[in-house]
Amino acid sequence: MSATPHTAMVLAAGLGTRMRPLTNDRPKALVHVRGRALIDHVLDRLIGAGVKRAVVNVHAFADLLEAHVKRRTDIEIVISDERAQLMETGGGVRQARPLLGDDLIIVCNIDSVWEEPNGSAVARLCAGFDASRMGARLMLAAMDEQLGYEGAGDFVMDDAGALAFRDQRPSAPWAYIGAQIIDPRIVDDEPLEPFSFTRVWRRLASEGRLHGAPLGGYWMHVGDPEAREQAEARLTAAAAPSP
């Protein structure tokens, strides 16, 4: 079983087109939910789990984002520069490989905010990673414990935690929330090009090496302005003092 990795990669280079007009003058990572930028919500969760270093990829409004994250003093920030070409989720990790090392890492999107009623979900995700059986372990939300996700579920999970894609099933009980622990070497054979991480997951799933873990809390997928408002309302209500 694994302790929390020292290093995480935060995927912050997306164009944020679905978040317009809020992203007309900033990257999606700097859209605020209850007074904090989305990327800071994620960095806070990583720090809470024990992460010491975050590699952050940048593309849209790269200068703004780089200046923002480098103001943090509670975690080491390293920039993976995608100004020349947006590499997508898998390609972003592949391009950043020289910055990541060969130890286990956490990979996070920036459009997820989640509640943690049972302590650090990232720490639990990492504690259950078994390198002898897994290439990646994904954090998953139950479909009735989320807002902002409009799909029919991403995965089914067996009793051992192994994942299969929904594919032709009409629905699946679990949605990927945008956080995973991986052995970074799983991307080493991929070409240096833009590609979705789904390509790597499908290979791992065919090998029985793609696993999942329940979030154990409520997930907010902040992908558009309406979802941002819903997340803001939920977090504000949760923070209100009891009558």
Q: Which residues contact 74 (CB under 8 A, 6 or more apart)?
A: 47
* Residue 243 confidence class, pLDDT cut points 50, 70, 90: low
User: pLDDT tens digits for 155-170?
Assistant: 999 999 999 999 999 9
SS3 15: coil
**pLDDT tens digits for range 99-142:** 999 999 999 999 999 999 989 999 999 999 999 999 999 999 99
Would you place residue 241 in the very low, low, confident or very high pLDDT band (cuts 50, 70, 90)? confident
For residues 218 and 139, the answer to whether their CB atoms sit within 8 Å is no
Which pLDDT belongs to residue 242? 62
Rg value, the chain, Cα: 17
| Ordered DSSP codes for 36-93 | EEHHHHHHHHHHHHT--EEEEEEBTBHHHHHHHHTT-SSSEEEEEE-SS---HHHHHH
Q: What is the pTM of this model?
A: 0.95
CB 219 within 8 A of CB 114: yes
Domains along the chain?
7-238 (3.90.550.10)
Distance CA 7, CA 16 (A): 25
